[in-house]
Amino acid sequence: MIKMSVGVIICTCGNTLNDKIDIDKLVDFAKSLEDVSIVKRVELLCKDYKQVAQELKGKIDRLLFVGCSERSSLTFNEDKIAQILEEIGLDRAMFEVANIREQCAWVHEDRDGATRKALDQLMMAYVKLRSNRPTGDPIKLEKRVLVVGGGVAGMQCAIDLAKAGIEVVLVEKKPYLGGHTAQIPLLFQCEGWSSMCTSECIVPVIARETTFNDKIKVITNAEVKDVEKVNGNFSVTIEQEPQFVDPNKCVSCGKCAEVCPIEVPNQFDLGFSKRKAIDKDFSLAIPDTYNILEEYCNKCGECVKVCPTNAINLDAKPIQHTYTFGAVVIATGFSRFDLNRIAELNYAHPDVVTSLEFERLLTKGFKRPSDGKTPESLVFVLCSGSRSENGVPYCSKICCSVIMKLANRITTLFPETEVAVVYKDIRTPGKLEDFYKMVERKGVEFIKGEVDEITSDNGRLKVAVFKEDGGEEEIEADMVVLAEALVPAEVQLLKKFGVVTDKFGFPIEFQPRVINPNETYVDRVFVVGAAKGPEIVQNSVESGSAVAMRIVEILKDGEKKLQKFVSYVNKDLCSKCGICASMCPHDAIKMEEDGAKVDSAFCRGCGLCMSVCPNHAIQLINFEDKQLLDQAEVAFKHAKEGEPRILALLCYWCSYAAADLMGMKGIKLPPNFRTIRIRCSSSVNAGTLLEILKKVDGVLIAGCPPKNCHHGWGNYVTAKRVKLMNEAMKQLGINPDRLRWEFIGVAMWGPLAKAIKEMTERLRS
């Protein structure tokens, strides 16, 4: 057996624990344990940990802390413990905590029972600590970032990264930067200021700063074709369309467009204007380079003849670029719901347009598409595809404000035009409410209800509305503008990076989302702007800057230190079934010829792979099945006879914190249960649970509440696993009450206490 030197620190929390626990017994017991070289009793470790660390430096290779909760302590949690380990010079995996304050002294009245439990909790932590392994060597990270999407969010992120000295490759599918923002003439300043700014000012400012920065390589007309995770980094292949016009030679003189014989719809204007097969999409497009639409060009060569800089090569071929990145930012913006799918909106009619189409129409003048006349009456229809059975059920967030902005513009420039708005609800956040009030004062008619049908008769549109009061109304209009629903733009791209999405295709941010905004379940893959959901320009820019700062912190040292818990595969046991890879919510496992392989830099140590592996080929370093069984073996060595012995397996994030709060909130329980802080609630497989049940009377598993699992779906998997096991236990003649599952959030200390009490009574009877 390997010789080790274990140091034990027992903190009395200012001697407040002495009333409930016999600390002397703990000290003596710790001294009796094999390979324990130092046992130090302190009153307030959180106040003088540096001095204690100096006393232990060079004398121990493992640390057992006995005191407050490493999860919930407000003065000495696992982050603080990490500082002690650094002071001592210990690997950050070589420590364990015996929680004798929150889950022992504070939750039990019986001093003898609390002392017995404290001895067991100490022993459980000790046996696990003895088999802990150091973390692996740090993994080198490429100090280069891929930004996919050249809208304002992506550009701002790239700019801030470049300013911090980090190399950026920005990939944009279109020939120009700016995204949808470039198509919208007037932008909201922000939610806190009811005024507008022109995109013809904003977009060139950001785009110039992006293209002029030597740290940023901009690749337009390009898409991500392939993604592979290699040694903690992303190997990405980017395919760029043929560069028929050399951007290093083109001076945007326009001579090529003058002689081009082919005129085609301009997609920048959504088909409401024409451009040549060689042209710029709009005058202020950056990069300031003409481009050829290959699908329309007949290769006549007229443009080649007149180009003064020889910038045009009609034989150009696609270009492939392959780079390695340490982090990725998805900034692909939004797409628009296809309103042709909602027949009653009559979107096929030329005078029924979307709000974005209306934005482009207004740049050409306020004219009706069908005949070029100025409309005398106009109807805006909110929630066109949003909050709809035939569309998407969610609110697209910015539509109301957009329509108020457009209504204000029309009533200001064309006061003779009658304007009406059909709406279910008006949702204009912050100062954008001012636009709503403004158009109300200008006489815009608001009709609360839902559109039943839009029809046309003799050149006039008729909008039939079911009103909220139960009545019906028909509105005649020269033109109808539909506030289209906003949907994800690049779902397949997200899948290439292994990002978990919701049922609509938007990326799910890492839990808890409220403090991990923009972070996906895949380590170092971020989403910004409207790529993660409908957003206004200012908020998109803010998210780009925020993510840049996160990435700078991650990449500044050029390496990633591995965490305490990382999965590894025993290739001799692996059957290559691939279940582990499909279960992993963090896309950290890939299948190779010789079996599954875990990329440690992407593993978040949830253990879901371990719990579903049929051959037990995958284990989690420092959370192996044997370590759990070792703890269960000693969990009740000091317990009184005659009481049900319940082992509570509580998830790392939520339910363990709820157990801590039971004591903080004054809940008192009998000392017949012990707790183990497991990883995800789904990190324990059925076989291990059955083995634990041989050693204890009951097992309670608790995990995060619905929609709150830190690992996507681990809590749902466990709920199903326990339900199936309960059924199997019945068939085997085993009382199913011995195994119980609960959804327990941090604030659910009451339900957790109730579950422990109920389980105790059922097992006692």
> What CATH code is assigned to 623-765?
3.40.50
Mean pLDDT to the nearest integer, 670-677: 96
- Secondary structure class of 323 (helix, strand, coil): strand
The C-alpha atoms of residue 243 and residue 101 are separated, in whole angstroms, by 67
> At residue 521, does pLDDT exceed 90?
yes
> At residue 1, does pLDDT exceed 60?
no
pLDDT band at 458 (very low <50, low <70, confident <90, very high): confident
The number of beta carbons lying within 10 Å of the beta carbon of residue 228 is 13
What is the predicted pLDDT for the residue at 188?
84
The predicted-structure confidence for 537-566, as pLDDT tens digits, reads as follows 999 999 999 999 999 999 999 999 999 999
- Secondary structure class of 51 (helix, strand, coil): helix
Contact at 8 Å (CB) between 621 and 583?
no
Q: Any residues with CB less than 8 A from the CB of 281 and at least 6 apart, and which?
A: 174, 175, 176, 266, 267, 268, 275, 291
Contact at 8 Å (CB) between 411 and 439?
yes
The predicted-structure confidence for 442-451, as pLDDT tens digits, reads as follows 999 999 999 9
DSSP 611-659: HH-TT--EEETTS-HHHHHHHHHHTTTTPPTTS--EEEEEETTTHHHHH
Contact at 8 Å (CB) between 750 and 622?
no
Alpha carbon 329 to its chain centroid, in Å, reads 12
Pick the CATH number of 255-317 from 1.10.287, 1.10.10, 3.30.70, 3.40.50: 3.30.70
Q: Which residue did the predictor score with more confidence, 595 or 191?
A: 595
Burial of 695 (0-12, 13-18, 19+ CB in 10 A): middle
The C-alpha atoms of residue 189 and residue 537 are separated, in whole angstroms, by 8
Per-residue exposure over 363-376, b if at least 16 CB sit within 10 Å of its own CB, e if not: eeebebbeeeeebe
Contact at 8 Å (CB) between 635 and 647?
yes
CA dihedral 447, 450, 456, 459 (to 10 degrees): 30
pLDDT band at 126 (very low <50, low <70, confident <90, very high): very high
What is the predicted pLDDT for the residue at 3?
83
> At residue 29, does pLDDT exceed 90?
yes
> What CATH code is assigned to 335-488?
3.50.50.60
Mean pLDDT to the nearest integer, 356-364: 95
The number of beta carbons lying within 10 Å of the beta carbon of residue 219 is 17
The number of beta carbons lying within 10 Å of the beta carbon of residue 97 is 23
The predicted-structure confidence for 624-669, as pLDDT tens digits, reads as follows 999 999 999 999 999 999 899 999 999 999 999 999 999 999 999 9
What is the predicted pLDDT for the residue at 508?
95
Q: Any residues with CB less than 8 A from the CB of 593 and at least 6 apart, and which?
A: none
pTM over 0.75: yes
pLDDT band at 215 (very low <50, low <70, confident <90, very high): very high
> At residue 15, does pLDDT exceed 90?
yes
> What CATH code is assigned to 566-620?
3.30.70.20
- Secondary structure class of 98 (helix, strand, coil): strand
Share of residues in the chain with pLDDT > 70 (%): 100
DSSP 422-479: EES-----GGGHHHHHHHHHTT-EEEEEEEEEEEEETTEEEEEEEETTS-EEEEEESE
Nearest Cα to Cα of residue 466 among 436, 403, 424, 420: 424
Handedness of CA 9, 10, 12, 13 (dihedral sign): positive
Q: Any residues with CB less than 8 A from the CB of 664 and at least 6 apart, and which?
A: 72, 102, 106, 749
Pick the CATH number of 1-138 from 3.30.460, 3.40.630, 3.40.50, 1.10.287: 3.40.50
Contact at 8 Å (CB) between 178 and 150?
yes
Query: Is 255-317's fold the same as 566-620's?
Result: yes
Q: Which CATH class is domain 144-240+324-333+489-555?
A: alpha beta
Mean pLDDT to the nearest integer, 732-738: 94
> At residue 77, does pLDDT exceed 70?
yes
Residue ranges of domains in the chain: 1-138, 144-240+324-333+489-555, 255-317, 335-488, 566-620, 623-765
Least confident of 30-44, 164-178, 181-195, 308-322: 181-195
- Please compute, for residue 151, the number of CA atoms within 13 A of its CA located in the half-sphere on the CB side: 30
Mean pLDDT to the nearest integer, 525-533: 96
Rg of the chain, C-alpha, whole Å: 32
Residue type, 501: T
Contact at 8 Å (CB) between 183 and 356?
yes
CA angle 675, 604, 627 (to 5 degrees): 40
